[in-house]
């Protein structure tokens, strides 16, 4: 594939992303899958260009306005190419009007792009909010939460996330997976905190490896692995993953239980659970049942009151902590807003807590950095009638009351986790 064609493909992929409210990774995946003629190396470069443009979206928009260009998929792709080092002569040569190339640049447009050549992505005149790519709705809350750490945390959220995997202890060991991947020229190193995790060097196509096809590992950020570890499920127990989604944490819990006992993976979206079932089969797990809930107050919950040893709530949230992986979520609302999520999170906590038996463990987790979705939700829950039946348990890496992971401090995505234990009933 010619370089000019890769640039045009970047424009087309960005245009597809801008045209829908679906997450960028899903749209880009569909774009590339529908064009089988694009080779693996070309796919990787196109994806890198697309995510580079998305990760620098606000700063690119500032530059486009400065040189008088409209902000669209084409101008964004060209601007990012120039600001990341492409000479203007190269861009002009790519825009030759060929069948798979961008149209020729002329007149004022050509002159405007010339003003971008040789520039860096940031400029002294840029406001801090532009440099940090932090949307207005979150900036004040994050600044108040992080204080002096606000800028380094926002900078860390701008970086590309590493590739982490969790090995499947039902089938293998971490050392064995390292050896298997090394045999396919993929380098890795043990994660510092997650005992079943490896960090992969570069961005290889892990799904194409035999080790992945054999169910020896799952792609999962270290922070997500640490959240699942808070459940501390034991073989033979009864466990609910209340918002199971794609099933990553469900699989980690199955590993803790050594495939013994019972896990109910719940979600309100049936399609998610169907996709998760394929992951369960590949991993060789057979103690997971799936259940579609109509709402967070589904009648099934009342029928199973106080029946479970462990309940995990991976609550729907703003996803601020995973902006490294989903940079478009900064400036596009891909789901409910904070005002809608806060009462929903509390409703889920109140409902799912009913499933926990006396002495059982309730784990509340989000991929957010906002205290409104995290510690404040726990405080509100504990002040409620059902919350008064629970006791918080310290679960942070350094003895803190809760687990609070951030990209700058821990090198993970941003996650929050709290552990609550239901008090034993006192005999009359």
- Strand spans (E) along 144-299: 163-167, 188-190, 197-200, 217-219, 238-241, 262-267, 288-292
Per the CB < 8 A criterion, the answer to whether 101 and 74 are in contact is no
Hunting for tokens 């009864």 — which residue is that?
238
Q: Which of 95, 266, 367, 395 is catalytic?
A: 367
**Among the listed residues 215, 205, 216, 204, the one whose alpha carbon sits nearest the alpha carbon of residue 178:** 216
Dihedral of the alpha carbons of 28, 43, 213, 169, in degrees to the nearest 10? -70
Decide: helix, strand or coil at residue 240: strand
Per the CB < 8 A criterion, the answer to whether 119 and 76 are in contact is no
Per the CB < 8 A criterion, the answer to whether 395 and 405 are in contact is no
DSSP 260: -
Distance (Å, whole) CA 27 – CA 19: 10
Residues paired with residue 11 on neighbouring β-strands, in sequence order: none
Angle at 128 between CA 123 and CA 133, to 5 degrees: 90
The helix or strand, by DSSP H or E, that contains position 409, with its residue range, turns out to be helix 407-410
Residues paired with residue 238 on neighbouring β-strands, in sequence order: 262
Per the CB < 8 A criterion, the answer to whether 239 and 257 are in contact is yes
Distant-in-sequence, close-in-space partners of 350: CB < 8 Å, separation ≥ 6: 381, 384, 386, 387
**Among the listed residues 351, 378, 354, 376, the one whose alpha carbon sits nearest the alpha carbon of residue 364:** 378
Is 367 assigned a catalytic role?
Answer: yes
The helix or strand, by DSSP H or E, that contains position 108, with its residue range, turns out to be helix 107-116
CA distances from 201 to 46, 148, 185, 221, 359 (A): 19, 31, 10, 14, 42
- If phi > 0 it is left, if psi is from -120 to 50 it is alpha, else beta; for residue 12 that is alpha
Catalytic (active-site) positions: 367
């Amino acid at each position: 594939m010619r370089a000019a064609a890769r640039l045009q493909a970047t424009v087309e992929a960005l245009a597809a992303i801008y045209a829908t409210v679906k997450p960028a990774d899903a749209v880009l995946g569909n774009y590339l899958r529908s064009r089988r003629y694009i080779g693996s190396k070309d796919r990787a470069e196109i994806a890198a260009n697309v995510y580079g443009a998305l990760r620098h979206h606000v700063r690119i928009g500032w530059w486009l306005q400065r040189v008088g260009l409209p902000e669209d998929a084409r101008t964004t792709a060209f601007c990012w190419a120039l600001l990341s080092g492409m000479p203007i002569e190269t861009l002009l040569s790519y825009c030759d009007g060929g069948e798979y190339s961008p149209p020729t640049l002329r007149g004022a447009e050509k002159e405007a792009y010339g003003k971008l050549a040789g520039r860096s992505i940031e400029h002294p005149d840029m406001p801090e909010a532009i440099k940090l790519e932090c949307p207005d709705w979150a900036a004040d809350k994050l600044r108040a939460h992080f204080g002096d750490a606000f800028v380094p945390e926002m900078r860390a959220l701008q970086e590309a996330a590493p590739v982490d995997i969790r090995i499947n202890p039902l089938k293998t060991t971490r050392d064995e997976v390292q050896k298997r991947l090394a045999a396919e020229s993929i380098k890795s190193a043990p994660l510092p905190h997650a005992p079943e995790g490896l960090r992969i060097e570069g961005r290889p196509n892990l799904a194409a490896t035999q080790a992945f096809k054999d169910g020896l590992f799952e792609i999962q950020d270290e922070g997500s692995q640490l959240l699942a570890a808070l459940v501390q499920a034991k073989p033979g127990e009864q466990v609910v993953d209340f918002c199971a989604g794609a099933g990553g944490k469900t699989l980690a819990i199955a590993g803790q239980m050594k495939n013994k006992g019972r896990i109910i993976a719940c979600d309100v979206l049936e399609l998610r659970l169907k996709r998760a079932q394929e992951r369960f089969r590949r991993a060789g797990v057979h103690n997971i049942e799936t259940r579609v809930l109509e709402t967070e107050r589904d009648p099934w919950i009342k029928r199973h009151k106080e029946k479970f040893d462990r309940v995990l709530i991976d609550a729907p949230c703003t996803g601020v902590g995973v902006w490294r992986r989903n940079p478009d979520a900064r400036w596009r609302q891909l789901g409910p807003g904070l005002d809608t999520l806060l009462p929903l999170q509390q409703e889920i906590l109140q409902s799912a807590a009913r499933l926990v038996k006396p002495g059982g463990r309730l784990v509340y987790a989000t991929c957010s950095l906002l205290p409104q979705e995290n510690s404040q939700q726990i405080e509100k829950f504990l002040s409620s009638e059902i919350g008064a039946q629970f006791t918080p348990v310290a679960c942070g890496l350094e003895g803190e009351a809760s687990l609070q992971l951030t990209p700058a401090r821990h090198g993970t995505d941003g996650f929050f986790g709290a552990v609550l234990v239901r008090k034993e009933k006192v005999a009359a």
